[in-house]
Structure 1
């Protein structure tokens, strides 16, 4: 399901912002300071509900973020499900060691902004029933395409994107993550993966104005998909396209938030049975504008202490070496670069940005089998504790300079530094 956001003239919001309760009252302001000697592009800024002085005194109005007379694209997210927003989120550009001042305005209802992130998910209840958009679904173990006789999901599962790149997740039991290359910053159409009759259709492996699916996934877990190492053997979370029954009793997907500058989706895999053990796994995928990447957070319940979390980097069409790069004290990168798209037609760089504190090297899966032809990053994992990482990709038709390995490596290195950079928020209540 996708919601449209359109940019509305900032004068409307300035009118909201410049209506203080008394003429003498100065507007509420805050500053954001870049603490790094590095220019930041689309740097996320999160303000908590409790950060706003006298929020309740504004009669339930929403705070707006205004800079140099323009209202910044913002969203108000309810992250704890209590029915009230608890985070205000926006992205901003900051020069090295720069400080920007923002003014808080107030609006009766949420404005609409041009979308820079999106989620698309559609399902059908029968082979002859048209697809319809949905906010989530629950997949039982016997609900796989091989069992029910049809593919229930648009694009085999949800897609999510920003203005740079798109991804999709095989929610049909395979739980691999695929890649959409984009040639435009606009969001891709809602009917990707749907025929004119409303049926599931693979119409995204051909070129469109917006781009196309560009990655061969096979029996890997794609770009950023997860597995576990148990007894020295990689165990697949889910099954392959040839299986009729899942090894996960119940898979639950939901769109947590789709907004103009941040979209969040979540998967819960309940009672994953493997190696005579049972696990519950949760994934939360987040995307914001400006980066050729998404963030993933994975937690596992039921660990016995001898498991290792595995994160995949598909290796089907890659004939060149993998690079292991320690960028800084926080992050390690695994990177490949080759004509590793479908039919080896285009240059494509892919990378995993992994937390150095839990990184334990990488291995390769077998050439054949239910989990194969992929590099697997090894990460230490504790019961119920989320592990966060990023998966990134640069396609030559998104930026022709991605044909060059050195350029792609430089982009990823800069992205890591951007992610590591800290910003400080300071409030100046009533202009003081």
Structure 2
């Protein structure tokens, strides 16, 4: 082969690889754009994102990159602040509000206050693990859960306190998205509290309209003390209402109870079936709804209303009116979702 032919052949090879690489890059960019467009089109969204490509060093996951998955079996090493799960657990949102659950022994539910009506969770925690604590264009983490259940999470009330999920044999979390809702399902195997070890399945569903999440707790056998609640803050009074002839009631709080500033207003509420509830009590860190001992699934709703959300509720009177309207809907239709 003469020199001219060799050079021509080499040029063809280089051009072929260059074209192939450009096509692959363009395909990747197109795929990323399609994913972003799909998220922008969605009315609800749920996700869980874990690190891959790194390694465990004790209780911490070092290096690696976050990747969204449809389900995860929680590793034995994982605990609070392991840097393994983006924003520490599954998240779910609609145009008005976002929530996340700490997928570790704390098992509290936190609130992402949103300033935009588009889906944002796929961006949260990508530019620094806990950057969501800082106010951004989309909003921020607005609730200090501390040792509480946060808003609407669950545990077992016993010995005048709430047992969270310190002793669990195995935990699997799954997320799914459909046209009409998004769902987080968590299966706890071998959850031990005191003298009882059971399995528990939690299903959390958010819908396109309104701020509420529907919660269903399905124990493997009857258990006393199953509870949900709202974190307590000083100088924030508890609101409670049960209709005389209705099947539903609610507890709620409203006031300056966010991490944003001392005047920022937030309302939180839990709707419950009165026949499923044993008592409403004050725990060390929460206003608690303690359910009757039963093997059948327990269903309730919880919600957070932040004054800075687009078209948000900005007064206690407006919040109470919204709750009473929902209570009327529950008592007449038995559900909030359309």
Structure 2 length normalisation: TM-score?
0.79
Q: Root-mean-square deviation (CA), in Å?
A: 2.5
> Does the CA contact (< 8 Å) of 2:268 and 2:303 recur in 1?
yes
Cα distance in 2 for residues equivalent to 1:292 and 1:352: 12
Query: Match of 1:413, SS?
Result: helix
> Does the CA contact (< 8 Å) of 1:322 and 1:334 recur in 2?
yes
> Does the CA contact (< 8 Å) of 1:5 and 1:260 recur in 2?
no
Give structure 1 regions of 4+ aligned residues with deviation exceeding 3 angstroms: 2-7, 232-235, 418-423
The equivalent residue for 2:191 is 272
Cα distance in 1 for residues equivalent to 2:40 and 2:68: 21
Query: Match of 1:132, SS?
Result: strand
The equivalent residue for 1:14 is none
Figure out how many residues of one structure are paired with residues of the other and give that number: 292
| Cα shift at 1:319 | 1.4
Distance of aligned partners of 1:260 and 1:183 in 2 relative to their CA distance in 1, 3 Å threshold: farther
Query: Match of 2:327, SS?
Result: helix
1:234 matched to 2:169? The reply is no
Cα distance in 2 for residues equivalent to 1:193 and 1:131: 10
1:338 matched to 2:223? The reply is no
CA displacement 1:2-42 (0-9 Å, x = unmatched): 995969xxxxxxxxxxxxxxxxxxxxxxxxxxxxxxxxxxx
The equivalent residue for 2:287 is 375
Cα distance in 1 for residues equivalent to 2:141 and 2:36: 25
The equivalent residue for 1:104 is none
Structure 1 length normalisation: TM-score?
0.63
Gaps of 5+ in 2: 1-31, 56-61
Query: Match of 2:302, SS?
Result: strand
Cα distance in 1 for residues equivalent to 2:91 and 2:191: 23
The equivalent residue for 1:124 is 51
Larger mean Cα displacement after TM superposition, 326-335 or 263-272: 326-335
| Cα shift at 1:301 | 2.2
More helix by share: 2
| Cα shift at 1:312 | 1.4
Distance of aligned partners of 1:333 and 1:262 in 2 relative to their CA distance in 1, 3 Å threshold: same
Identify which of structures 1 and 2 has the higher relative contact order when contacts are C-alpha pairs closer than 8 Å and 6+ apart.
1
Cα distance in 2 for residues equivalent to 1:190 and 1:286: 18
Q: Which has the larger radius of gyration?
A: 2
CA displacement 1:41-99 (0-9 Å, x = unmatched): xxxxxxxxxxxxxxxxxxxxxxxxxxxxxxxxxxxxxxxxxxxxxxxxxxxxxxxxxxx
The equivalent residue for 1:284 is 203
Gaps of 5+ in 1: 8-111, 240-246, 367-372, 424-432
The equivalent residue for 2:95 is 163
Cα distance in 2 for residues equivalent to 1:354 and 1:262: 21
Distance of aligned partners of 1:392 and 1:145 in 2 relative to their CA distance in 1, 3 Å threshold: closer
